Amino acid sequence: MLSISSVLIPAATLGAMGLFFGALLAVSSKLFHVAQDPRIGEVTDTLPGANCGGCGYAGCANLAEAIVAGKAPVSSCPVGGPPVAEKIAAIMGVEAGDVGRMVAHVNCRGGDNAKRKYQYQGMKDCLSASKVAGGPLECTYGCLGLGSCVKVCKYGALHIENGVAVVDAKKCVACGACASVCPRHLISMVSDKQDVFVSCSSHLRGTELRRICNIGCIGCMLCQKACPSGAITVTDNLASIDYDKCTNCGACAAACPRKLIVNASESAPQAAQ
């Protein structure tokens, strides 16, 4: 039979140890406490709290720490855009500068204009489809149109239209989630001030490209010759725009025989026949 002392003594010992270690932790927290810059909390509260990772950091709190530490600019949050950048700049006591809004753009208009190798019947996932014989499209650069980017967008800024992903610029916050999930890396972030885009990513030669897509870039260089500011060049069979030089004049879009250069300020062109 257990005596009272055999129960009370261990209990008292454990209680005393608990009090000792509790006091030790309390003292240690005081001795080793590192004061946090109060601006970190202010910046965190100013950020939208999306924790989307579009800024390159794990979450808003991490970005706030980087901004206060001077490791990230006040305009780092793509979701908050200029309004949030201005508020953070005020907290940090700096100028926000010319903060431009960014939006996603899909560098492909193939979709139903692209030839298919087979009819895909698997999971509605672009990565899964791309692993089946390289994907159902003849073009290895084209949008698979299965909507993986649509599924990850928290803002409803993407949808599938005519077999290809399309961005609603008014809803897009440039969080980058769609770009991260695209197995063919077709989505990039561009300034919303830009109207002209080369909506193709293929580097195939013109003769081969014509066979598998009736809207892809064939490297004809007519756009390059038409550009008055030297902003568009054709390299490795694909046209690309230098937005530091581009004036949104639309001359390249007008000259493109394939109508793959899109001028957002005008109605979308039809596919070449």
What's at 48, amino acid-wise? Answer: P
- Residue whose pair of structure tokens reads 């725009």 in the numeric block: 241
Segment 107-117 mean pLDDT: 93
Structural domains of the chain, ranges and CATH numbers in brackets: 38-92 (1.10.15.40), 103-192 (3.30.70.20), 194-205+213-273 (3.30.70.20)
Phi, then psi, of 211 in degrees rounded to 5:
-70, -30
Segment 122-127 mean pLDDT: 93
| Other beta carbons less than 10 A from residue 160's beta carbon | 15
Beta strands in 204-250 (DSSP E): 232-235, 238-241
Q: What secondary structure letter does DSSP report for 187?
A: E
- Split at pLDDT 50, 70, 90, the class of 18 is confident
pLDDT of residue 181: 95
pLDDT of residue 98: 66
pLDDT for residue 270 is more than 50: no
- Split at pLDDT 50, 70, 90, the class of 17 is confident
CA dist 18 and 105 (Å) reads 59
Query: Which residues face 235 on adjacent strands?
Result: 238
What's the length of the chain? 273
- Split at pLDDT 50, 70, 90, the class of 2 is low
What's at 81, amino acid-wise? Answer: G
Segment 102-119 mean pLDDT: 92
Per DSSP, the three-state class of 160 is strand
pLDDT, tens digit, for every residue of 37-86?
A: 889 999 999 998 888 887 888 889 999 998 898 888 888 888 888 889 89
pLDDT of residue 118: 93
Segment 210-239 mean pLDDT: 95
pLDDT for residue 226 is more than 70: yes
CA dist 47 and 50 (Å) reads 8
Pick 159 or 191 by higher pLDDT: 159
CA dist 37 and 128 (Å) reads 46
CA dist 163 and 87 (Å) reads 41
Both tokens of 74, joined, read 């006040």
Mean pLDDT of the chain: 87
Segment 14-43 mean pLDDT: 74
pLDDT of residue 30: 65
Both tokens of 81, joined, read 């855009």
